[in-house]
Chains A and B, each alone.
Chain A
Amino acid sequence: NAGVTQTPKFQVLKTGQSMTLQCAQDMNHEYMSWYRQDPGMGLRLIHYSVGAGITDQGEVPNGYNVSRSTTEDFPLRLLSAAPSQTSVYFCASSMGLVNEQYFGPGTRLTVT
């Protein structure tokens, strides 16, 4: 099993550009989440999904879109990148809240 994979590992964008961060898991997990990590702020939930076709907003959803067309994939789209979105982004999956969340290696995004 590859676990949770994220691409790309690093990305630099100019303000106003759009892009999609990819996340895939091969563990048949129903739950998937996107977090951003900023110094001194821990991890903050952006969006999450409890199954294919079902998504919901987390703590900091503005400027991001998600969709969940398959169990395996949960892409995060930045619509119009802003410097405030410079961060490290983590995708995670789990069978449910009562189970361990498995994290991907992260994507480091810089918006100039």
Chain B
Amino acid sequence: AQSVTQPDIHITVSEGASLELRCNYSYGATPYLFWYVQSPGQGLQLLLKYFSGDTLVQGIKGFEAEFKRSQSSFNLRKPSVHWSDAAEYFCAVGQETSGSRLTFGEGTQLTVNP
């Protein structure tokens, strides 16, 4: 069965600092990988996705993520964090054979200090 682990429950960074959120997955074949962001009281919005090809993917709001098969990781990065990036971030993995079934990680809450 597929699974996703986000090791960091809560991360605090200063505005302007760089950010890396970790995501590790467990899945036998090449996974479909996603990062979503959830602002307080809102639904989830897709930041970026990886299906195949270039292992470094660019997303919205200046985010990028790198797929590393050898480490079973799909970490999210941003070079300079803005106060508006404070939110909860979810990594998710999917498999094509199960239709729209995604498995989500537990989430990482990001706090941005001024």
Residues of A whose CB lies within 8 Å of any CB of B are 4, 31-33, 35, 40-45, 48, 50, 56, 58-59, 90, 92, 94, 96-98, 100-101, 103-106
Q: How many A-B residue pairs have CB under 8 A?
A: 71
A103 and B106 in contact (CB under 8 A), knowing A33-B100, A43-B90, A98-B32? Answer: no
Contact A45:B102 (CB < 8 A) given known A40-B9, A98-B96, A100-B49? yes
* A45 touching B101, Cβ below 8 Å: yes
The answer to whether A43 and B104 touch across the interface, beta carbons within 8 angstroms, is yes
Q: Are A97's CB and B43's CB within 8 A?
A: no
Report A-chain residues with C-beta under 8 Å of the C-beta of B105.
42
Are B96 and A97 in contact, with the CB atoms below 8 A?
yes
Partner of A97, one of B4, B46, B94: B94
Q: Which of B94, B96, B98, B104 contacts A42 (CB 8 A)?
A: B104
Contacts of A31 in B (CB 8 A): 99-100
A103 to B45, CA, bound (A): 7
Interface residues of B in 66-114 (CB under 8 A from A): 90, 92, 94-96, 98-107
Please report the C-alpha to C-alpha distance between residue A41 and residue B95 in the assembled complex, in whole angstroms: 20
Residues of B within 8 A of A42 (CB): 4, 90, 104-107
The 4 closest A-B pairs by CB, nearest first: A103-B43, A31-B100, A42-B104, A43-B104
CB distance from A21 to the nearest CB of B (A): 14
A-B contact pairs, 23 of them (CB 8 A): A31-B99, A33-B101, A33-B102, A40-B107, A41-B106, A42-B4, A42-B90, A43-B92, A43-B102, A48-B100, A50-B100, A59-B103, A90-B43, A90-B44, A92-B100, A97-B95, A97-B99, A98-B96, A101-B100, A103-B43, A105-B43, A106-B41, A106-B42
